[in-house]
Structure 1
Amino acid sequence: MGCVSDEDAPRPSGLKDLFNGVGYLLRGIAWTARHPAQWLFGLIPALIVLVLYVAALTALAYNLDGLAEWATPFADGWADGARTSARVVAGLALFGTSLFLAVITFTAVTLLVGDPFYEAIAVRVEESQGGAPPEPDVPLLVQIARAVKDAVLLAVIALAFAVVFFACGFLPVVGQTVVPVVAACVSGYFLAGELTSVALERRGLRRRERFALLKRNRPLAVGFGAATFVVFLIPLGAVLAMPGAVAGGTLLARERLADGAREGTGGLVLG
C-alpha cells in the first residue's frame, strides 16, 4: 500500500467541520462538569464582568426610547404609525447591536480580567490530555500589554461590524432574519479567536498567526464560536459556560490548530 500525503488525504467537509466545532464546545463543557472545582474557579472573573455589562445594558434599555428617537430624526414628520414603527425597529436594532457588541467584547474583557484563572484552567485541560507546553519566556508586563492591545483591537473591529449590522437591521425581513445569523457567525469567528488564544499564546503564537490559523479552519472556528455565541445569549449563559468555553477552545487549539501552526500559518489577517 502506498503512503498518502497530507495533500492527498481527504479533508473534512465544511459542514462536518462546522459540527465538529460545536462538538468542541460540548467537550469543553463536559470537561468542566468532570472538574467542578475548575468550573467554580472560572466563574469568578466572568461574574465580575457580567455585573458591569448588565449595568450598562440596563442603562441602555432604560434610555432606549430616547436613543431610538435620536437615531431617526428623518421620521419626525411622518405619520404616527410610520414614525412609531421606524423607532421600534431602530430601538430593536440598537439594542441588538449593543448585545452583539457586548457578547463579542465580553469574552475578551473576561479573559483580560481573569487571565490567571483561565491560564490555570487551560493548563489543567492540557495536562489531562497528555501535558501542557512550557510557558513562553515573556515578561508579565509584556503579556499584559499584548492582551490589552488585542482587546482594544477586537473592540474596534466589533464596533465596526456592529455599526454595519445596526444599519442592516432596518432592512425589511432581511434585517430580522439573515442579519442575526450573519452576526452570530461573525461574532463566533472572533469568539473562537479569543477562546483559543490562551492555548495558542502558550505555543508562542501572536494575534496575526492565531487568526491566520482560524482563517485556514474557518468552518471549524465558526461552528465552535457561533455555538458559544448562542449559549452566551442565554441569561447567565456567558458566565456559566465561560470556563467550559475556555476548556473547549484549549482542546480545539491543541488538537486541530496547533498542527497547522507547525505547518505554517499562510496568509495573515488582523494586522
Structure 2
Amino acid sequence: KILWTRRDVNLDHQEGAGSSPILFGRLLIFHCDGRDRQYIAALEKTTGKTAWQVKRSIDLSKVPSHARKAFSTPLLVGSSKSPVLVSPAAQGCYAYDPHTGRELWHLKYKGFSAVPRPVAAGGLVYVITDFARPHLLAIRPGGRGDITGSHVNWSATAQMPSTPSPVIADGLIYTVTDKGGVVCCLDAGNGKQLWRHRLGGNFSASPIVAGDRVYFFDRKGTTTVMQRGRQAKVLGVNRLADGLMASPTVVGDSLYLRTRSGLYRVEATGR
C-alpha cells in the first residue's frame, strides 16, 4: 500500500539522482542539487508534506550548469540536544538545523558532482569536495556563517576517491580510489598518510569496518579483507561471481552484499 507520493521534486541531475534520503525523527531529509535547482528539503515522513525547504545560499549564477550538481548524502552530527545536519553540495558544504532548515554555516570550495558521504569522528567532519579532482577536508563543524577561511583543519589531495565514501575507526581514515583500487590510510587528526596499498580493479562501493578488519569491494565482485591499523596487511581475498557496486552493510555477525543479480548474506563462523 502506497501511503503518499511526491512528483514535484524532480530535478535536472543529468545522470539521475544519486543522493540518499535520511530520517530525523518525523522528517525525511534529502538533497536536491541539480543543474537547474539546488536546495535541501524535509518532508513529513508519514504524510509527504513539506516541513521545510531551503535554497542553497552560495551564489552559483556564474558557475556553469553542469558544475551546480551534487550527489552526496547528508550526515547528522552533534548531540541529540543540538544536532547539526552536514550537507555537501556543489561548490561548498553547508550545515543546517535539521528541525527547521535554518542554515548554520557554509564552507566554499571548488568542486561538484561529489558522491561520497561525509564521515565524522573526534569533533571533526570529513568531506570529499569533487568528482574529477577530489580533495578530503577535515572541518570543525561548530562555526557560524561563512567558515571558509577559519574551520578547515587540514586537506588531503593524493589518491582520494570520487565515488566510495571514506570510513573511519580508531582515529584512522580509510579510502579507496575508483580506478586502480589504491587504498590509503590517513591519520584523522592531522591528515598524514600512514600507508598506501594498491589492490587493483575499479571501485564504487564504500569500504566498511567490522571488528578488527576493513573490507573493500570492487566492481567485479572481489572482496579484499585488510587488517585495521597503522600498517598495511591483506588478510584475504574472496570473490563473488557477479559484480558489486552497492555498499554492503554489517548486521550482527552477518555481512550483506548486493551484486548485480542477487543479495548475499555472509555469516561469521568458527564459534
Which TM class, normalised by the smaller chain length?
A: under 0.3
TM-score (norm 1): 0.26
Tell me which structure has the larger Cα radius of gyration. 1
Q: Which has the higher contact order (CA 8 A, sep 6+)?
A: 1
The structure that is strand-richer by fraction is 2
